Amino acid sequence: MSLEGIADPVWVKREDLGPVKAYKWRGAYNAMACLSPEKLAQGVVAASAGNHAQGIALGARALGCKARIFMPKPTPLVKRKAVMDHGGEKVTIELVGDSFSEAQAAALRFAAESEATFIPPYDSIDTMGGQGTLADEIFTSGEGPFDRVYVAIGGGGLASAVASWLKSSWPGVKVIGVEGVEQASMKAAIENGGPTYLDYVDLFCDGTAVNQVGDLTYQLCRDHLDEIITVTNQEVSTAIKAHWDGLRIIPEPSGAMSLAGYLQQQRVGLIPDGEKILTILCGANMDFAKVAEIARQSGISPQKKRIWSFAIPEKKGSLVDLLTGLPAEISIIDLQYGRRVSESQLPVLSLDVPAAVEADFEKWIEARAQSATDVSGQAEAAYRVIPFTPSLYRAPLFVEVEFPERAGALLGFMEKLSPLASLCYFNYTYSGERVGRALLGLDFENETAREAARPLVLSSAGDTVRAVREVSIGAAT
């Protein structure tokens, strides 16, 4: 199926139309079907954050065997329910740990202690062989050959299979792997000469959030991929919107990653004219609660968005004066303003700046250089910080906390710090991800107490939270 209206026609291989709305069933079922009747009778075990688990469940029911599936505790209910719907009484779910790595470790222990066979989600010839049937369908569709094929990379099973299969049929095809900026485990493996463990991976694209790729997938991707590129969460969100605009479908973030890679290269002029492009929509198991965050991020191109804070006097008409002369083509997409106990007020404007008026915008900013501050990417703008009066605080420390989206995770962190400081600011919004993010302000008795506690606060990750980062919030610190 082709995707029109994004610059040039782009073809899309839709795996959202399959039995589990993602490609993972192919590898899971094939690996299980390769087992002997005796092995099947002893059952299978797997680890998954969602799609592989559904494939295992589908295979268990079809092949008549028992399956025990280990999933991270923050796995959304919608994905757990889908697993049980596919597997029924053949499937048992075990919720273990906060990450895929912890769930997989538990699954491997169970397999070692029982007679059940572990079914790898990617680092297995049988699994990859099943996933590769997707590429066979591309080849036999009659729509090829394609010049470029973009494929998402998590553990590397799909990318390995697609690259190996298509290059055997179309030697001239370029296969480009696409990873998230903070999920680039295959890129790290190729740069370091082997699978490399990443201490931190972002979970926005949860289907591709893998700390370390497999040995087999590393070798095949190294030998057959022409390139690996990385994309941001905002670029992925923009690609999800492009799928909706062109096909009226909503892929999950990992499912849109391949199109995000194409759009990135097309935007900077790396796609030669006349090339025939294929992207692989590898999954569409989207949590509905996540749609709002994706819509927010995709509402404007990351290359066009500008966020500025302006110091204006506290008097009537000052905000109107600020906006006077703003080029008409520029849209205000967000304006944060709150009166503060000071002479100078600090409204924050998020602006959509088209390339055609970039020069006019720069002149407008230059004329206000004394009062304008670019706050793009700062925590204040990202979290829409509620205006406050710093003089009311004694010795504040602001931190961004990332934690597993499950009951008690953030509370445990706050309880640990409660003897040291009082909570003076809290900003959190549920985004539908497996991780939550909150901006916290901790107020200490004095600066000496704050500096003594700072190392403890910033080293608190690893217990109930995944990451703690100090952020600067205006004059409060």
Q: Which of 276, 298, 320 is the last residue of a domain?
A: 298
* 335: containing domain: 305-376
Task: Determine the Cα–Cα distance for residues 281 and 257; give it in Å rounded to an integer.
Answer: 8
Q: Are residues 432 and 401 in the same domain?
A: yes
User: pLDDT value at position 322?
Assistant: 78
Q: Is residue 384 included in any domain, yes or no?
A: no
Provide the whole-model pTM. Answer: 0.78
Contacts 24+ apart (CB under 8 A), 59-64: 59/25, 59/28, 59/29, 59/32, 59/33, 60/32, 60/87, 60/90, 60/91, 61/86, 61/87, 61/88, 61/90, 61/91, 62/29, 63/32, 63/33, 64/40, 64/90
Cα dihedral sign for 301, 303, 305, 307? Answer: positive
C-beta separation of 42 from 117 below 8 A: yes
282 shares its domain with 133 = yes
In a domain, 383, yes or no: no
Same domain, yes or no: 39 and 13: no
Task: Give the pLDDT score at 140.
Answer: 95
Q: Are residues 213 and 293 in the same domain?
A: yes
The pLDDT value given to residue 419: 83
Q: Give per-residue pLDDT as tens, 173-229.
A: 999 999 999 999 999 999 999 999 999 999 899 889 899 999 999 999 999 999 999
Q: Is the dihedral of CA 99, 240, 377, 422 positive or negative?
A: negative
The pairing of beta strand 348-352 with beta strand 305-310: antiparallel
Q: How many CB atoms lie within 10 A of CB 51?
A: 30
Name residue 36's amino acid: S
Q: How far is CA 349 from the centre of its chain?
A: 26
Q: Among 91, 124, 157, which residue terminates a domain?
A: 124
Which parts of the chain register pLDDT below 70?
1-7, 299-305, 314, 316-317, 333-335, 338-343, 386-390, 392, 407-408, 429-432, 463, 474-477
pLDDT of residue 284: 92
Is 361 in contact with 441 (CB distance < 8 Å)?
Answer: no
In a domain, 97, yes or no: yes
Q: Is residue 35 part of a domain?
A: yes
Residue pair 139/169 in contact (Cβ under 8 Å)? The answer is: yes
368 Cα distance to chain centroid? 36
Residue 381 lies in a domain: no
Q: Alpha-carbon distance 349 to 309, whole Å?
A: 6
Strands 435-444 and 395-404, sheet pairing: antiparallel
Residue 422 half-sphere exposure toward CB, CA atoms < 13 A: 8
Tokens 């680890």 found at: 47
Distances (CA, A) of 175 to 127, 218, 276: 20, 15, 12
Same domain, 107 and 196: no
Domains contained in the chain, number: 4
List pLDDT tens digits, range 249-266. 999 999 999 999 999 999
Q: Which helix (H) or strand (E) holds 458?
A: helix 447-458
